[in-house]
Chain A
């Protein structure tokens, strides 16, 4: 087929994505350089980098950046490490495998707002929650998770959602592992730990790269869980960048500062993406 036709077939996707990227982004850039508050219309003069200054000196800025990165790294570590270990442990035939698979993946399909509400109320409520009941039964003081450990609570919610995904990907990947190789290693006296370290982990390199990439895309943008459960608080203890910018834009109506923040979030994502896409690009055969 001619090049022109293949181009034509690709054109809608490419053009739409270009438009989707360029128009809003250039608007964000423009807004970030003017004074623009929805409460005071008509005073949109150019202010240079003042919005950036405001955003960066906002008391929430440093906690938000830190929380974004802590959330990202914690969930990545939890899901990948626990995911790899668990999937290696259950990678043998056993009774009811199909049902276990279905139960395991379920949390991944729960919408973020429901996820947050289940955990906030029924699990973590300091009086009526399951965790409080467990602490009480053990004779311990119940913990008020959301106000004492807000960021950790969010990490638990998000990990609960993504751990099943990681496990399922790793289990699926392990099924294609060479059993003969494993048996040969066993014959030669390799222990389970050796097999895990020298056969399983290398075999999982690519799936791990992919899981890290997908999760990063979604984890940098965690919003609904925070919105519903902690509201970013107490103080800024569980505010991430996405929530801080939402706060500036739709609660304080300061479009200018929110746009500056949005650009900062884009910058951060690009720094992360730069490394990720390069690492993963090598791993994906196109």
Chain B
């Protein structure tokens, strides 16, 4: 074999290997997806059916029985609401820490990160009781507040690590030209960090959308987002796999597709800019 052939063989083997892993890891999702188009009988047939006449019946039943749109709307409101709030609070903080770092900046950042280490379950009881006393159980307001605070450290960190990489000379130049601090932020920093802010927002939306601890514990039906709606399929509907799959597909599809488009930024974001 020539060197060239060897190299070619290596590429093909790498490709085959990578594809195999990817397909194995993706298989459960693929299976959920196609099961959602089966009848209940086909869904549990052994050996598994791969070819069948697809039906949309399951999706109709899911909407009818558990009001998918209602829960999807709860997911949208809570994840977008919390994300916008978190951005509004975090952008000024990240900005000042990135451009005007003091002696304590690093400590503050690490402290913020350490609040993420506080396990949710440690404050489950008081949060539950506070929500009960203020009539916020099973309300979207409670979820928005909690999601905002829960993601705030990550949002600050992400924005900070992006802002830090902006060239400081541009800001100095703007200042020389007589820009006020407000101009600086609105006319220089913001346009330069549209990408940074939107990928931070994406990450925050994904985290809120998939959050399950608080949504399972604090909501029942009225404010239940999709994570909680799916959990209600765990026991009584346990064996109706086609319907379960349809509900799951509907719950995950938006965020998975969303994720496909921004996976690169997500890596950078979730690793606090340590991996680019």
Give the contact stretch, choosing among A52-60, A163-171, A182-190.
A163-171
The answer, yes or no, to whether A172 is at the interface (CB within 8 Å) is yes
Map CB proximity to A onto B41-68 as digits: 1 under 8 Å, 0 otherwise: 0001111100000000000000000000
The answer, yes or no, to whether A210 is at the interface (CB within 8 Å) is yes
Interface size class of B (residues with CB under 8 A): 35 or more
- Within the complex, the shortest CB–CB distance from B276 to chain A, in Å, comes to 7
The answer, yes or no, to whether A201 is at the interface (CB within 8 Å) is no
The answer, yes or no, to whether A66 is at the interface (CB within 8 Å) is no
* Complex contact A286–B267 (CB within 8 A): no
* Complex contact A109–B25 (CB within 8 A): no
The answer, yes or no, to whether B39 is at the interface (CB within 8 Å) is no
Question: For chain B residues 8-38, which have a beta carbon within 8 Å of chain A?
Answer: 10-12, 14-15, 17-19, 21-23, 25-26, 28-29, 31-32, 35
Q: A93-B11, A172-B267 are in contact. Are A28 and B125 (CB under 8 A)?
A: yes
The answer, yes or no, to whether B168 is at the interface (CB within 8 Å) is no
The answer, yes or no, to whether B156 is at the interface (CB within 8 Å) is yes
Which one of A107, A132, A168, A228 contacts B29 once the chains associate, using CB atoms below 8 Å? Answer: A107
Question: For chain B residues 243-276, which have a beta carbon within 8 Å of chain A?
Answer: 244-245, 248, 251-252, 255-256, 258-260, 263-264, 266-268, 270-272, 274-276
* Complex contact B209–A272 (CB within 8 A): no
- Within the complex, the shortest CB–CB distance from A112 to chain B, in Å, comes to 5
Q: A113-B212, A172-B275, A284-B274 are in contact. Are A249 and B128 (CB under 8 A)?
A: yes
Contacts of B115 in A (CB 8 A): 17, 20-21
The answer, yes or no, to whether B236 is at the interface (CB within 8 Å) is no
The answer, yes or no, to whether A223 is at the interface (CB within 8 Å) is yes
Closest to A19 in B: B149
* Complex contact B210–A109 (CB within 8 A): yes
Q: Classify the secondary structure of B's interface with A.
A: helix
- Within the complex, the shortest CB–CB distance from B217 to chain A, in Å, comes to 7
The answer, yes or no, to whether B135 is at the interface (CB within 8 Å) is no
The answer, yes or no, to whether A220 is at the interface (CB within 8 Å) is yes
Q: Classify the secondary structure of A's interface with B.
A: helix
26 pairs of residues in contact across A and B, judged by CB atoms under 8 Å = A5-B96, A6-B102, A14-B108, A14-B112, A27-B123, A27-B130, A90-B17, A102-B260, A106-B29, A109-B210, A113-B212, A113-B228, A114-B32, A117-B230, A117-B248, A118-B28, A122-B32, A128-B46, A165-B270, A168-B267, A207-B271, A210-B274, A223-B213, A224-B227, A276-B117, A277-B110
The 3 A-B pairs at the shortest CB distance, nearest first, are namely A94-B15, A224-B212, A27-B126
Q: A9-B92, A117-B233, A249-B128 are in contact. List 17 more A-B contacts (CB 8 A).
A: A13-B152, A20-B149, A31-B126, A102-B260, A105-B263, A113-B230, A172-B275, A221-B119, A221-B120, A221-B213, A224-B212, A249-B124, A259-B126, A266-B119, A269-B119, A281-B110, A286-B106
Enumerate chain B interface residues (CB-CB to A < 8 A). Answer: 10-12, 14-15, 17-19, 21-23, 25-26, 28-29, 31-32, 35, 44-48, 89-90, 92-93, 95-97, 99-102, 105-106, 108-110, 112-130, 149, 152-153, 156, 181, 206, 209-210, 212-213, 216-217, 226-228, 230-231, 233-234, 238-239, 241, 244-245, 248, 251-252, 255-256, 258-260, 263-264, 266-268, 270-272, 274-276
